[in-house]
Structure 1
Amino acid sequence: MTIRILADSACDLPPERLAGLPVEVLPLTVQYDNAEYKDQVDISPETVYSAMRKGEIIKTAQVSLQTFLTIFQEAAKEDETLIYFAFSSGLSGTFSTAKLAEQQTKEKYPEADLHIIDTKCASLGYGLIVLKAGQMAAEGMDASEIIKHGIDQSARMEHIFTVDDLEFLYRGGRVSKTAAFIGTMLKIKPLLDMEDGKLVPREKIRGTKRVLGRMVEVMEERSHNLEGQTIAISHGDCRERAEQLAEMIRDKHNVKDIVIEMVGAVIGAHSGPGTLALFFLKD
């Protein structure tokens, strides 16, 4: 039976990363300037960041129920095993919509082999799970093995990140207006992570150099088995800082690989330019 891996564009994996793998990425929607765009299809992260720097308000929308129904029913008709690794339910309603589509599909096709998994991850933390699932499927591994490995990775995936401007987090309801104003004035960098799929502020650090060092320290505190891991770094149009962070990690640890990609248009619309995020597996 054919195994089909499904994800959405919040995984922040560009098409070239997934070339040759049985992975389909569904675009979320970006809305601004009285128009709608499909993430990774007809709008780029650079366009979104440029608009945000000019003061544009960017909105986003999840994958539609009809899109999921079309894909799920097609998989059912073709007798395919479909595994959808979803963007965190704590940040988007996409997972809930997919579960509704699964229910409706199984009413029509009771034998449909559908698996909907809430990764509770975002950006390249989510992307690493999708990438490995695609590689396992391409190698001919069983669906049960792919699902088990994906669930294990989801539970262990750490997200450590900071933002350049607290104003964008304020707009998304993550910090108060006063905190955003004071933080910007004092050049305070918030350090955040994910807990049960939701963003949680952890520390406030003054200065970019210090926050990079602290990100590496937190990684070392939470994982004592970094050697051999594939680490990921995503950035909100600040590639130089991402490379700087990667070099700091390579200087201290013999990691297998460091994947660096831009924070996509959908997540970037909420975190803003200058976002820097580090992803790895905890102990």
Structure 2
Amino acid sequence: MNFKIVTDSTANLSAEYFLEHGISVVTLFYLLDGKEYPAFNPNNPNTLDQFYNSLKQRPKTSTSCANENSYYEVFEKAYNDGQEILYIGFSSGVSATYRSAEIAQKRLLEKYPDAKIYCVDTLTGSFGQGHFVQKAVEMRANGKTAEDCYNYVLEQRLCMRTFVTVDDLYFLYQGGRIPSLSYRIGSLVKIKPIIEVNTEGKLVAVNKVLSRKFSLTAMFNAVKDNVTDKDVVYIAHGDCLQDANALADKLKAQLQIKNVVVGKLEAVIGAHTGVGSIAIFFLGNKRT
């Protein structure tokens, strides 16, 4: 059954993939020194390269969510095209974006009570969110319904494990994720936090180490201790390809992971984690 898949720019998939599979994308925004930019620009394939080059100048960074009208326009068009709608959203634990989509869903149903629209919060982002988008595309091609895909994401979302480490606390501080004192002390002693996305889709520090080597080892151990599906692991990096590839090689060699997808971390999350960040996503033991 053909239905419209809608997602956010945070899903970390390419413009070519979205176009090929007829996926509608609602963009979030990032701000560098107060100037706002769309995180997804299908007409500029170099957006991420430009973004990370800008981050190296250590600007003041922040982000903003998509508003309800952006979602409503996409939802209404799909409805008018006679399609059911499946929205696969960025974690509500770190952004108000999902709430915007819920408000748009409510507006659509008030105007068109016969609309079939399913909104699901992935409680993750980047390649974790993108994994569920790709799974929905696969399920749709195999004849599954929007409701089938919605139920699948609901059942599996807490099995999508997400761990992040940053190399520079500056960006967490600028984004309001850590207080000034923690930033100053942490930078002084070169703390590298290990952050996990919890059952509410929120970022929580689960460990702190004192070197890049130890932080990458902690990321490897997070997979080793929790992975249940060795078909694919995703690594998103903040313009540190060498470290990401080294981690990917280690996962394949020591844990027999069949496929490790490596790519740059999209800009909205990257604005908070900065240059040198590594995020890893995989299906594993259910979050508790």
The structure-2 alpha-carbon separation of the partners of 1:135 and 1:21, relative to structure 1 and needing over 3 Å to count, comes to: farther
2:26–2:71 contact (8 Å) kept in structure 1? no
Counterpart residue number, 1:61: 64
Counterpart residue number, 1:143: 146
Counterpart residue number, 1:76: 79
Alignment partner of 1:133: what SS? helix
1:120 aligns with 2:123: yes
**1:11: how far off?**
1.1
1:48–1:58 contact (8 Å) kept in structure 2? no
2:252–2:259 contact (8 Å) kept in structure 1? no
Normalised to the residue count of structure 1, the TM-score between the two structures is 0.92
Residue type at the aligned position of 1:247 = D
CA distance in 2, matches of 1:68, 1:257: 33
Runs of 5+ in structure 2 lacking a partner? none
Counterpart residue number, 1:256: 258
Deviation above 4 Å: which 4+ runs of structure 1? none
Alignment partner of 2:20: what SS? coil
Counterpart residue number, 2:282: 280
Counterpart residue number, 2:224: 220
The structure-2 alpha-carbon separation of the partners of 1:140 and 1:280, relative to structure 1 and needing over 3 Å to count, comes to: same
**1:17: how far off?**
4.2
CA distance in 2, matches of 1:9, 1:278: 18
**1:130: how far off?**
1.3
Farther-moved stretch of structure 1 (231-240 vs 249-258): 249-258
Counterpart residue number, 1:7: 7
Counterpart residue number, 1:197: 201
CA distance in 1, matches of 2:63, 2:177: 16
Correspondent of 2:179 among 176, 181, 192: 176
**1:184: how far off?**
2.1
Q: Deviations over 1:10-41 (max 9, x none)?
A: 11112234453232222212333564322220
Identical residues among aligned pairs (%) = 32
CA distance in 2, matches of 1:76, 1:158: 33
2:118–2:147 contact (8 Å) kept in structure 1? no
Counterpart residue number, 2:54: 51
Q: Deviations over 1:128-151 (max 9, x none)?
A: 111211222233322232112222
- 1:81-96 maps to which residues of 2 (within 5 A)? 81-96=84-99
CA distance in 2, matches of 1:77, 1:175: 44
1:157–1:280 contact (8 Å) kept in structure 2? yes
2:172–2:272 contact (8 Å) kept in structure 1? yes
**1:258: how far off?**
1.1
Counterpart residue number, 1:235: 237
1:163–1:276 contact (8 Å) kept in structure 2? yes
2:235–2:278 contact (8 Å) kept in structure 1? yes
2:171–2:273 contact (8 Å) kept in structure 1? yes
2:86–2:118 contact (8 Å) kept in structure 1? yes
Q: Deviations over 1:109-167 (max 9, x none)?
A: 00011111111111111111112112222333222321122222312111111001112
2:119–2:150 contact (8 Å) kept in structure 1? no
